[in-house]
Amino acid sequence: MATRLGDWIDQRSGWRDTWNRVFLAKVPAISWGHTLGAATLVAVVILIVTGVLLTVYYVASPADAHASVQYINNSVPFGWLIRGLHHWAASALVVLAVAHLIRVILHGAYKYPREFTWFTGIALLLLVFAFGLTGSLLPWDQRAYWATQVRIEIFATVPMIGDWLARFIQGGEELSGLTLSRFYAAHVWLFPLLLIGLVLIHLRLVVRHGVSARPRDDRRRRTRAGHL
């Protein structure tokens, strides 16, 4: 039954071809380090799912933000789990993304023809930091408020445009409900759209180029051929 349905859809979409190319591709000798990209993606998926769930109860206004987070934590069934997963997956994402980056550097996987994959990866890492900046204000507690205050002061030290930039980021002269509102808009609309777009490009390029062979394997091959 499932096979017949799969056939029916395959004849009209060719999904099996794509599936095989993505999941049954031949890969060179790889290490556990090669799983870090996929692990990063899992963290992203968890963050998207739990993030969508959090918006069911979260309200981004100075009067409601903190109370709604407390409500999620204490009153909604599994609210503690959903919020906890979002919080810890966010931290894990930063760690995994950086570990993935280090793996790519150590294996020289950023080199031709994968430079563009690398650039999208760097853009994604910066985006992750932007998610962290905007997301950490949303609980609207003392820590969120004062930590964001410090970060905005750091933006204000940018030469020439610092003042303008700080006012732009906080939506006015000081950190206020306007800041909360625009951080929320960026965190749940702008950044996720950018993230999904960039992740799709990043993955498309990984599928296109395949997994890079480890430098060590290359050297062994060259040595055998007498080139080193």
Name the site residues for another protein (rule: CB under 8 A): 46, 49-50, 53, 56-57, 64, 67-68, 70-71, 75-79, 81-82, 85
Contact 116, 81 (CB under 8 A): no
Strand (E) or helix (H) holding 170: helix 162-170
CB of 86 to another protein, least distance (A): 11
Closer of 73 and 136 to another protein (Cβ): 73
Q: What's the CA gap between 109 and 117, in Å, rounded?
A: 9
- Minimum distance of another protein from residue 223's CB (angstroms): 32
Taking the complex as a whole, how short is the minimal distance between the CB of residue 48 and another protein, in angstroms?
A: 11
Nearer Cβ to another protein, position 82 or 195? 82
**Would you state the structure tokens that stand for residue 138, as one six-digit string?**
């949303």
Measured distance CA(71)–CA(88) in Å, rounded: 19
Residue 68 beta carbon to another protein: minimum distance, rounded to whole angstroms: 6
Task: Select 57 or 119, whichever has its Cβ closest to another protein.
Answer: 57
Structure token digits, residue 108: 């020289």
Cα 177 to chain centroid, rounded: 26
Q: Which of 86, 88, 46 is nearest to 69 (CA)?
A: 86
Q: Whose Cβ is closer to another protein: residue 30's or residue 46's? A: 46
How near is the Cβ of 87 to another protein at its closest, in Å?
15
Quick one: tokens of 29? 């000798």
Which of residues 54 and 152 has its CB atom nearest to another protein in the complex? 54
SS (H, E, C) 98-121: HHHHHHHHHCCCCCCCCHHHHHHH
